[in-house]
A and B are shown apart, each in its own frame.
Chain A
Amino acid sequence: DSGVTQTPKHLITATGQRVTLRCSPRSGDLSVYWYQQSLDQGLQFLIQYYNGEERAKGNILERFSAQQFPDLHSELNLSSLELGDSALYFCASSVADRTLETQYFGPGTRLLVL
């Protein structure tokens, strides 16, 4: 158990809908990262938050957004969903110490768009 929790574990929805994925980082971790993993694909970095502020952006679509709350949990919002958005979405967290930077991953949310 990495200490990172994600809910829900599974999500089935229809095209055009909007969903929210939630992540709670490990205790003491200030940074949260979101990744998308499509079938048989590697992990694509979407976005990073550090202590409530956006720190880095990757290949995140404009239909997607995220935020990190004062209690450090984070939400990833996916809107106007398309079939191609079906994937595993992982959250990871880290202390964000500049010298020893290691990310720990949650179990993921499997999103299926029908």
Chain B
Amino acid sequence: GQQLNQSPQSMFIQEGEDVSMNCTSSSIFNTWLWYKQDPGEGPVLLIALYKAGELTSNGRLTAQFGITRKDSFLNISASIPSDVGIYFCAAVTSGTYKYIFGTGTRLKVLA
């Protein structure tokens, strides 16, 4: 079945560094989304992408919808301690409302 391969699984970075993570799949999607989840909380939507090639920013976050529609990446610039959490990518197939989630990237920021 469809699945999203998210990498890296986890990363430790120094405060101020830039972070990059991505999601890939063998399937085509028409919507990509990035969520952040803090411990014990629900995922919070960061960025939604609806067109292939689309590049969207939200503050220090930038995400792109891959031109092949099979991948997406998320960049975080100048990381700060509150960026700690688990980042999930999610994708939706055209004509359905079923989300498929990546396995998450656990980010830890060292002050």
Q: Which residues of A contact B (CB under 8 A)?
A: 2, 4, 31, 33, 41-43, 45, 48, 50, 55-56, 58, 88, 90, 92, 94, 96, 98-108, 110
Mask, B79-111, CB within 8 Å of A = 1, is: 000000000101010011111111110000000
Which of A4, A42, A96 is most buried by chain B, counting CB atoms within 10 A of its CB? A42
- Contact indicator A43/B97 (Cβ below 8 Å): no
- Contact indicator B99/A42 (Cβ below 8 Å): no
Task: Please name all residues of chain B whose beta carbon is closer than 8 Å to the beta carbon of A43 when the two chains form the complex.
Answer: 43, 88, 99, 101
- Determine the residue in chain B with the shortest Cβ distance to A1: B44
Query: Could you list 26 A-B pairs, sorted by A, with CB under 8 Å?
Result: A2-B42, A33-B97, A42-B103, A43-B88, A45-B99, A45-B100, A45-B101, A48-B97, A50-B97, A55-B97, A56-B97, A88-B40, A96-B97, A99-B50, A100-B50, A101-B31, A102-B45, A103-B33, A103-B45, A103-B90, A103-B99, A105-B35, A105-B43, A105-B44, A108-B41, A110-B40
**Chain B interface residue number, banded:** 20 to 34
Determine whether B48 belongs to the interface, using a CB cutoff of 8 Å to chain A.
yes
Identify the 3 closest CB pairs spanning chains A and B, nearest first: A105-B42, A43-B101, A42-B103
